[in-house]
Structure 1
Amino acid sequence: MKKLSVKERIIETASQLFYFQGFNQTGINQIIAEAGVAKASMYQHFRSKEDIAVTYLKKRHITWTNKLEDFVSQEKLPQEKIFKTFDFLIDWLSSVDFRGCGWQNIVTDLPNDHDKIRQQAVLHKNELRAWLNTNINQIGNYTSKEAKTLADEVLILIEGAIIQSQIQKDIWPINSAKNICKKILI
């Protein structure tokens, strides 16, 4: 197995800590210690904890999006891809003991002046929104404006299901959101 570079160790360590422990609860010294790097090495790659978090969210976005695409790829119909997204949420959230969404979690844990992190969360959510819009447009039953409205509604169902499953530590919110989604898209 390939040995991780200093930068990769910092990102991997910080990713785990930010996701499972929280942004504010994770200090630079903890990242340095658990990554096994020198402070000078860390600052050679990242100017701040915020810069590490931005890199974490960019990497998480690529990984999460690819996993979603792979998970729904067997579905031929666009509405089935959207319905399968809820199954993806169950699979993912069950595997992390319902820890929730990394973007939702970090944004609720941010000081007000960390706009670069907030922008990464907005980017991720807007790309999911665009993906939903594209799929709903492909269904063919809706005008462009209706598809956009429906995509926004499905996004809210997804986001609400994620946070509610985190609170409940259960899949029923995701199943309920999927049932509502089926009602509005069929």
Structure 2
Amino acid sequence: MDSAVARERALDAAERLFYGRGVQSVGMDEIRGASGLSLKRLYQLFPAKDQLVEAYLDRRDARWRGRLAAHVAGHEEPRRRILAVFDWLEGWFAEPGFRGCAWINAYGELGAVSEGVAERVRAHKEAFREYVGRLVADAGLPDALTAPLFLLAEGAMVTAGISGSTAPAAEAREAARLLLDAAQAA
């Protein structure tokens, strides 16, 4: 099996286990068993568990942001695109196995002891914030809306992860709508 295929198998197993149970509760032997790779092969690909965790977060980041952007791009009206972020979050929260935000979860477990994890979490959150800022700018709205809209989305993620409910997305969407209405009226 070539390295690219083996790497994807390892990452698929790591994502399933890390996201489902938490990074610290999963050992490399479990990743080996779930991936079907030998422990030697797994360590050739990822010499340390930290490297596997970082690769998992990087790959998930690209996929998460890509899925969000594809959903939002399906809406033409700029203001509607902002609200579409919250619609997408609601769909994500409803997915089987949803356990909250992978980056918030990883930061809670490892942010204080792994600079690599902390860097990836910060980069993911900053990229998401910048994306929200571009949507705000495209709608011709004041940049001051970026931070509250970003925080509404982030709060919805945390609350949905804890509650196991999709309701935080709809609640955050309604708050976002009120902010947009107020900004347009001003």
TM-score if structure 1 supplies the norm length? 0.90
Determine the structure 2 residue equivalent to 1:156.
151
Q: CA deviation at 1:6?
A: 1.8
Work out the number of aligned pairs and report it.
178
2:170 aligns to what SS in structure 1?
helix
Determine the structure 1 residue equivalent to 2:179.
184
Q: CA deviation at 1:152?
A: 1.3
Determine the structure 1 residue equivalent to 2:46.
46
**CA offsets, 1:5-42, max 9 Å, x none?**
22211111001111111001111111112212122111
Aligned: 1:68 with 2:68: yes
Q: Is the 8 A contact 2:111 2:118 kept in 1?
A: no
User: CA 1:129/1:111 → structure 2, altered by over 3 Å: closer, same or farther?
Assistant: closer
User: CA 1:37/1:158 → structure 2, altered by over 3 Å: closer, same or farther?
Assistant: same
Letter in 2 for 1:170: S
Q: In structure 1, what is the Cα distance between the partners aligned to 2:172 and 2:111?
A: 31
Gaps of 5+ in 2: 182-186
Determine the structure 1 residue equivalent to 2:103.
103
Q: Is the 8 A contact 1:10 1:32 kept in 2?
A: yes
User: Cα RMSD over matched residues?
Assistant: 1.4
Q: CA deviation at 1:141?
A: 3.6
Q: Is the 8 A contact 1:32 1:42 kept in 2?
A: yes
Determine the structure 1 residue equivalent to 2:31.
31
Determine the structure 1 residue equivalent to 2:82.
82
Q: CA deviation at 1:118?
A: 1.4
Q: In structure 2, what is the Cα distance between the partners aligned to 1:39 and 1:156?
A: 41
Q: CA deviation at 1:111?
A: 6.1
User: CA 1:111/1:127 → structure 2, altered by over 3 Å: closer, same or farther?
Assistant: closer
Gaps of 5+ in 1: none
Determine the structure 1 residue equivalent to 2:184.
none
Matches within 5 A, 1:131-142: 131-142=131-142
Q: Is the 8 A contact 1:97 1:169 kept in 2?
A: no
Q: Is the 8 A contact 2:9 2:35 kept in 1?
A: yes
Letter in 1 for 2:130: A
